[in-house]
A and B are shown apart, each in its own frame.
Chain A
């Protein structure tokens, strides 16, 4: 099976702009999670989607949003970019069921999108 893919791999934006990142999960996986990784804060959970519904949400401002499509592909959007949004954004998919919680099965990570905000 193909792994988790993320596009684009690199992005450079300026403050105030918005950005959309894309993630294609492993075939058959219905759970998709997003993480922000920075040297200072480590891995921080953004949100999890399952079958087009946001099931869990981390502690990020409303500028960070996401969605999931019927084919399980997911996008996340960051509006009004700030310098502090510069990070590696990781997507992970998991073979969870509707009743199983995030973190109760292996997460398969994509290579990430490196976002730089100038």
Chain B
């Protein structure tokens, strides 16, 4: 059975600092990996996805993620956070979603 774990429920980061959100998965086959972002009162929007190829994936809004098969991880990163990055972030593997990580950005 597949499962997705986002270990961090809530992360607070200062504006301009770097951000890393963790995602671990359990999946029997080649995983289809996604990161989505949800702003308050909105639906989810795709940030980036990985199906195959280069394990470092670039997405929108300056985000990137790295697929590490040996660690069953697909962590999301951003070098310098903006106040507008405050949102909830979901990792998805196959058809399943993680519990989400809420990011708060302090000035």
Contacts and interface: CB of A to CB of B under 8 A. Distances in A.
Given A42-B97, A42-B99, A103 B44 contact: no
B96 interface: yes
Interface in A95-118: 101-112
Interface in A55-85: 56
Most buried by A among B41, B43, B45, B100: B43
A106 B49 contact: yes
B23 interface: no
B43 A103 contact: no
Interface in B38-57: 41-46, 49, 51
Contacts, number: 50
Contact of A111 (B41, B90, B98): B41
Nearest to A103: B95
Contact of A104 (B32, B44, B46, B100): B32
Nearest to B100: A42
A63 B94 CA distance: 26
B95 A110 contact: no
B45 A101 contact: no
Nearest to A110: B43
B74 interface: no
B13 to A, nearest CB: 22
A112 B51 CA distance: 27
B92 interface: yes
A103 B29 CA distance: 13
Interface string B76-101: 00000000000000101111111110
A103 B50 CA distance: 12
Interface of A: 4, 35, 42-43, 45, 48, 56, 90, 92, 101-112
3 interchain residue pairs of minimum CB distance:
A103-B95, A109-B43, A103-B94
Given A43-B100, A56-B95, A111-B42, 19 more contacts: A4-B43, A35-B97, A42-B99, A43-B97, A45-B95, A90-B43, A101-B94, A101-B95, A102-B95, A103-B92, A103-B96, A104-B94, A106-B34, A106-B49, A109-B36, A109-B44, A109-B45, A110-B43, A111-B41
